[in-house]
Amino acid sequence: MRLSRYFMPILKENPKEAEIVSHRLMLRAGMIRQQSQGIYSWLPLGKRVLDKVNAIIRDEQNRAGAIELSMPTLQSAELWQESGRYDAYGKEMLRIKDRQDRPMLYGPTNEEMVTDIFRSSVKSYKDLPLNLYHIQLKFRDEIRPRFGTMRSREFMMKDAYSFDLTREAAEHSYNKMFAAYLRTFDRLGLRAIPMRADTGPIGGKLSHEFIILADTGESEVFCHKDFVDFDIPGEHTDFDSVEGLQAIFDKWTSLYAATSEMHDEAAFNAVPEGDRLSARGIEVGHIFYFGTKYSEPMGAKVQGPDGKEHFVHMGSYGIGPTRLVPAIIEASHDDSGIIWPASVAPFDIVVINMKAGDQACDDTCELIYAALSKAGKDVLYDDTDDRAGTKFATADLIGVPVQIIAGPRAVANGEVEVKDRKTGARETMTIEAAINRFVA
């Protein structure tokens, strides 16, 4: 991508409305724009990061055996009347009427709709287990939308829903998502700790929130500090192994970890004082097992091996991609801007032409840009005629992991500078060496 032809509206000044660093940096880097309270557009740079986050989420959902579909954002009120949640959900639900005056709503979550899909076509235990997910916009008319896309009214959610014949089988489905979430957040460069959580309007008894520790987090959390160094389940985790996944779950729930709603002061005080971590955190995921809460009132049942009908046991599993992007920034930035983990960076490399219009600089940059693009790298080429200082500031602000800098003096020697955004380390090397480093 040539910056001169891209759309990346950088702000020079700090936006006044932004209270936390991620919101400030997302606005300054031209990633998002507020359209109305708690409702955002994702501008091209932000969209690239969001897409990469979603690709990792999708990859891990698929690995764990979940199947992707796509459900609509607008739902009929009837379904919610069946489950009993239409009145119970309260003012957070945006209620709409269509031209025939039929009550509709903008979905805050999809338990009812997916249960409707399930009951219409699954009739036998032989079709279980089943886990269906989508990555879709949701709307919740939050009392206090704030911190940009961290807590917005319209937001994106990956929501998965599992269906099983028995409670035991449903627990295995829960454990699959539990392990998949540990892997997902790790691949996003984050350490997320599962904590016992309140189930709120979704319901059920068993529930974990996945929390990232951050001073700007909205939740107050309490846990054993060893969680910070626990091993993440590997790439070859067998998601069909009931014992294997139970062992992962048991290990990750063996020490104290709870959000403030579930906090047990006495149990926490039993943790040796030096091991206690009392901190603030960002909830990036939340998983639930709620048994037959929806399947019973909505009549979602299958025939079991005993020939009888059984209401299915269900769970639901959410991740907030539009919250994860600012959460990653909260965890990874410095005074100059964002520092993206390579896995979600909007571009892999930025090529900075310090003197656009200078033949040697232009030729060098074009050569590097073409070679790296051809090798499959996402390259941003700053070919604008801004001052070098402005270009460096922009590159640091948008947080691309590697900068290749071509200035007239180095280029005259057949060299460029390679800068690591995270460490700030700079290395001068031949043009060929710079290309080879990233093509290998």
**Candidates 5-13, 16-24, 53-61, 279-287 — which segment interacts with ligand P5A by CB under 6 A?**
279-287
Which 172-211 positions form the footprint of ligand P5A (CB under 6 A)? 202
Does residue number 316 form part of the binding site for ligand P5A (CB under 6 A)? yes
Task: Give, rounded to a whole angstrom, the gap between the first and last alpha carbons of the chain.
Answer: 21
# of chain residues touching ligand P5A (CB under 6 A): 21
**Candidates 9-17, 152-160, 217-225, 269-277 — which segment interacts with ligand P5A by CB under 6 A?**
152-160
HEC string of the chain equals CEHHHCCCCCCCCCCCCCCCHHHHHHHHCCCEEEEECCEEEECHHHHHHHHHHHHHHHHHHHHCCCEECCCCCEEEHHHHHHHCHHHHCHHHCEEEECCCCCEEEECCCCHHHHHHHHHHHCCEHHHCCEEEEEEEEEECCCCCCECHHHECCEEEEEEEEEEECCHHHHHHHHHHHHHHHHHHHHHCCCCEEEEECCCHHHCCCEEEEEEEECCCCCEEEEEEHHHHHCCCCCCCCCCCCHHHHHHHHHHHCCCCEEEHHHCCHHHHHCCCHHHEEEEEEEEEEEEEEEECCCHHHHCCEEECCCCCEEECEEEEEEECHHHHHHHHHHHCEECCEECCCHHHCCCCEEEEECCCCCHHHHHHHHHHHHHHHHCCCCEEEECCCCCHHHHHHHHHHHCCCEEEEECHHHHHCCEEEEEECCCCCEEEEEHHHHHHHHHC
Report the amino acid identity of residue 190.
L
Question: Out of 119, 140, 208, 293, which residue is the one contacting ligand P5A (CB under 6 A)?
Answer: 140
Does residue number 285 form part of the binding site for ligand P5A (CB under 6 A)? yes
Question: Out of 152, 173, 237, 295, which residue is the one contacting ligand P5A (CB under 6 A)?
Answer: 152
**Minimum Å distance from CB 157 to ligand P5A?**
5
Question: Out of 60, 112, 164, 283, which residue is the one contacting ligand P5A (CB under 6 A)?
Answer: 283
Does residue number 323 form part of the binding site for ligand P5A (CB under 6 A)? yes
In this complex, which beta carbon is closest to ligand P5A, that of residue 28 or of residue 151? 151
**Candidates 40-48, 153-161, 330-338, 413-421 — which segment interacts with ligand P5A by CB under 6 A?**
153-161
Does residue number 293 form part of the binding site for ligand P5A (CB under 6 A)? no
Does residue number 61 form part of the binding site for ligand P5A (CB under 6 A)? no
Question: Out of 83, 109, 115, 403, which residue is the one contacting ligand P5A (CB under 6 A)?
Answer: 109
**Candidates 70-78, 147-155, 169-177, 427-435 — which segment interacts with ligand P5A by CB under 6 A?**
147-155
In this complex, which beta carbon is closest to ligand P5A, that of residue 43 or of residue 416? 43
Does residue number 237 form part of the binding site for ligand P5A (CB under 6 A)? no
**Minimum Å distance from CB 108 to ligand P5A?**
7
Does residue number 22 form part of the binding site for ligand P5A (CB under 6 A)? no
**Minimum Å distance from CB 53 to ligand P5A?**
12
Does residue number 294 form part of the binding site for ligand P5A (CB under 6 A)? no
In this complex, which beta carbon is closest to ligand P5A, that of residue 184 or of residue 394? 184
Does residue number 259 form part of the binding site for ligand P5A (CB under 6 A)? no
Closest CA to 351 of 307, 406, 313: 406
In this complex, which beta carbon is closest to ligand P5A, that of residue 183 or of residue 421? 183
Does residue number 320 form part of the binding site for ligand P5A (CB under 6 A)? yes
Does residue number 322 form part of the binding site for ligand P5A (CB under 6 A)? yes
Phi-psi region for residue 205, left (φ > 0), alpha (ψ -120 to 50) or beta?
alpha
**Minimum Å distance from CB 1 to ligand P5A?**
28
Neighbours of 326 (CB within 10 A): 27
Which residues form the interface with ligand P5A (CB under 6 A)? 109, 140, 142, 151-152, 155, 157, 159, 202, 283-286, 288, 316-320, 322-323
